[in-house]
Structures are given as structure tokens and as C-alpha cells.
Structure 1
């Protein structure tokens, strides 16, 4: 009696797709560039809290992407899909080298996420399998990206207009 061959693509369950690795490392790379250009937060307590919270949030959503979970993947896909558009709009209003790099990288990230959703690994993860390789290494990349994001100073808003709000009964 012969064994029945597997149906569908042969999947090496020991390999996280390269698209996913490139996707994760692209966030680390742009995070490093932003840290070098914008600098780190001065307040140590604020930086530590921000790095911890950022790492937790990014790891939570990254685990959803890696495991092809619908809601978390949908949130990430929406954000990653909007980033190239927003980066190009920002580049039109304030053309900078960092802005151009962010627009390019965000477009690459959107393409990598799209490619990842077409891999056999993604299809396999949609079945909610048990077993497989440890996801700790790829999630460690996500945690690193979150830590970098929490450490980096956010850009100061550009000067614009001021709105004064006064509530009845309070002095001006």
C-alpha cells in the first residue's frame, strides 16, 4: 500500500518566509534612521515607559501578522497601506531626505506585507496550526522595532495656528 502524496504546495514549516523577515527588519532599519536623525528622548522614565509600551503593542500586532490572524492583520494592513500615501503627502508639503526615505520604505513595507499574504506559510497559518517553528526570533525583531519607536523623539509639529478655547464662566 503506497502513501498518499500531500495535496497543494509542499511547505517547509521550519522556515518563516523571507518576506516576513524583510518586513520586520525594514521597521528596525527605518527606526534606526529616525533615531539617528531625530534623536532619543531626554527623559529616562518617559523613554523606558514608552519603549516598554511600544514593544508590547508592536509584538501583539506582529504576532497577529505572523500567525495570519484576521483582525490584527487587518489593522496592520490598513496602517501599512496608508503609510505610503501619507508619506508622499508629507513629502509634497515638506520635502526632506528623511521624508523621501520614509516614503520609499513604507511603499516597500506595503509590498512585502502583500507578498507575505500570498505565501504558503500564510495559508498554513490561516488554518491555525499547532506546532511549527518557534516564532520567537521574528517576534524579537518586532520587539526591537517597538523599542526603537519608543526611544525616538517624535517630530515637533510645524508652526501653524493657535486656537484659544474659552468656556463660559472662566476668565480669558
Structure 2
């Protein structure tokens, strides 16, 4: 939503603010609640779970970049999240899953509606890059690459079930 507030035009603003709203509704309200029910996790216990180091660093980076950067730079920071979820969803759709829990996630992120959203976000980034200075485009590329690395590390840490090397809370 913060990136959308910096949009140079109403169409881009509406696209990103709507995407933020839809993410809350679909991902948090639908997917997260479904997964917590499936796995027997009490919603109240979520607040007591410490974010992984990568999740903490990535989230802090996204917020700081969206706040401090231009529209293009902020969009370049969040773009890998949109794009990676689509590509992973499409790849997993090819393979399928007998597990209804995973199938629901796969169907969400491989859907034509989500693919259209990602296409529109990519188009907004291309449009913003056309109007940017060379310096801003270089910064956007750097931020995009860094976010892509954070995405990889986020998935890798979850896959390997890594956490903090030392306990943070007593």
C-alpha cells in the first residue's frame, strides 16, 4: 500500500493498493486461517512465534525501501514476491499435490487471476522505468536483485527449517 501511495498515476495507485487489500483478504484471511485450522494452530499463538532472521531482515528491508525509495524503487523491492509466488505456483501446478492443504496454496498462486495481477504489476514497473533516471533504474535493479535473494533465502530457510542460532527471548 505504501508503494501504491507513491504511484505517479491513479491506475498504478489503485493496482497496488488493491493488491495490498486483496493480499490481506486472500492470503491472511483465507489461506492463513485455513492452514492454521488444518494444522491445529491457535491464532493467538502466532504472535508468540519469533520471525526467522531472514523473514525479519526481508520485512524490514521492504518497509524501509518502500518508505524511503521512489515509486519505481519500492515497486522493484516488492516485485520479486509477486513474481516468485506466481512462478512457484505454476511449477507446482504442473506437478500437482495429493495434499489438499498444498493444493489450495498452489491453486491460489497459479490462478489466472493472480497471473493477471502479476502481469499488471510488471507492466507498471516497466512504465515507471521508462520515466526514471539512469541512476534510479540502477537502484531499482539493485533492489530487485536484493529482494530476489531475500526471496530465495526465505524459501531456503523454511525448507531447511532454520531459525535463530541463539534464543532471543528469555
User: Which TM-score band applies after superposition, normalised by the shorter structure?
Assistant: 0.3 to 0.5
Q: What is the TM-score normalised by the length of structure 1?
A: 0.45
Q: What is the TM-score normalised by the length of structure 2?
A: 0.46
